[in-house]
A = this chain, B = another copy of it.
Amino acid sequence: MPTHRTGIRTLAWEGDHLVLVDQTRLPHETAFVNCRTWREVGDAIRAMKVRGAPAIGAAAAFGLVLAAGEIGAAERQAFLARLEAAAAELRGARPTAVNLGWALDRLLRRAREHAGDPSALRTALLAEAEAIAAEDVEANRAIGRHGAQMIGPGERILTYCNTGALATVDYGTAFGILRTAHEEGKGIQVLACETRPFLQGARLTSWELLQHGIPAALITDNAAGYLMSRGMVDRVIVGADRIAANGDVANKIGTYTLAILARHHEIPFVVAAPLSSVDFALPDGSGIPIEERAAVEVTHVGGRRVAPGGMPVLNPAFDITPAHLVTAIVTETGVAAPPFLQSLEAQRAVHAARRGGR
């Protein structure tokens, strides 16, 4: 498995199967999950062994490659029908992030256009999945470059959830900006919110910050407001699971609260995501489904019960930050400013032109 600057790669295709870092076991141990069937990929996505919108997009793409192999010899229409059935089930594994559906649609389109036999088709799908993974890394490095240009010397930047190498194929989105700014010697300091209930900030972002030697402190999510009131936060940078055409942002539950806090304290609130996270078909965030996850994520921590048995729980996993609270959206094409309906559409056009020019 190729290793990157973080020491491990979130996901990689190894000959005939997909290998994932088991993110539920970090930072205690670095364990890997071998997925040899598309159902195993779906299970890993549902259990959040792989998480982060770009990472689950790429994982699902490789899952569909596995599905193509599992279907075996079949008449073309039957083959496509079974591939689409697998894609539908993978798509339902996590409803909020758009990258999952985006990656599956891209592979299904490739399958429908392809004229060859199932074996040649499977090779073509693998190439498409590998392209999605490679483009994600490329997009993240570009996000890092564009975003870092906004960062002033010595900025204290608050971030949320995990948007690093682990949330993507490599390098990260919001975290990629932090990493680039740090490597450029800007002397940034990072405040990482722990991100209840799954603690991606405490477990994963802390781990990546330590690996890169970026000066940082871990805080509880509810300390963010206090630290802003004390003038200790210069900027908020978060990722996104889905962005509507108007710039409304679905992201990890708690992001909306940070956006309101940032507005109250007049602190820039920046979102970083590849254009594959923008759902241009959705006019605004009201159409984004919010995943409700199991109560056990709230009642138990690290396998240990903290709340009394029988206590009802509400556990929405995402929230919607309206575009008017967002200062800028950084994609691989550049920094989009409000109004996002125009600026995101312009970025899409630039992106399409660049792809077409290859």
Q: Using CB atoms and an 8 Å cutoff, list the residues of chain A in contact with chain B.
A: 27-28, 191, 194-197, 199, 202-203, 206-207, 209-210, 216-227, 229, 253-254, 256-257, 260-261, 264, 290, 298-299, 301-308, 310-316, 319-320
Determine which of B219, B254, B308 lies in contact with A298 in the assembled complex, contact meaning CB atoms within 8 Å. B219
Partner of A308, one of B206, B223, B225, B303: B206
* Alpha-carbon gap, A197 to B229, bound state (A): 20
Copies in the complex: 2
Check if A307 sits within 8 Å of B223, measured CB to CB.
Answer: no
Q: Would you list 30 pairs from A and B whose C-beta atoms are within 8 A, ordered by A residue?
A: A196-B221, A199-B306, A202-B307, A203-B307, A206-B307, A206-B311, A209-B311, A216-B312, A217-B311, A217-B312, A217-B313, A218-B311, A219-B314, A219-B315, A220-B253, A220-B254, A221-B221, A221-B222, A221-B254, A222-B222, A222-B254, A224-B257, A226-B253, A226-B257, A226-B290, A226-B319, A227-B314, A229-B320, A301-B301, A304-B304
Given contacts A210-B308, A220-B254, 6 further A-B contacts (CB under 8 A): A203-B306, A217-B311, A217-B312, A221-B221, A227-B314, A301-B304
A290→B28 CA distance, assembly (Å): 32
Contacts of A195 in B (CB 8 A): 222
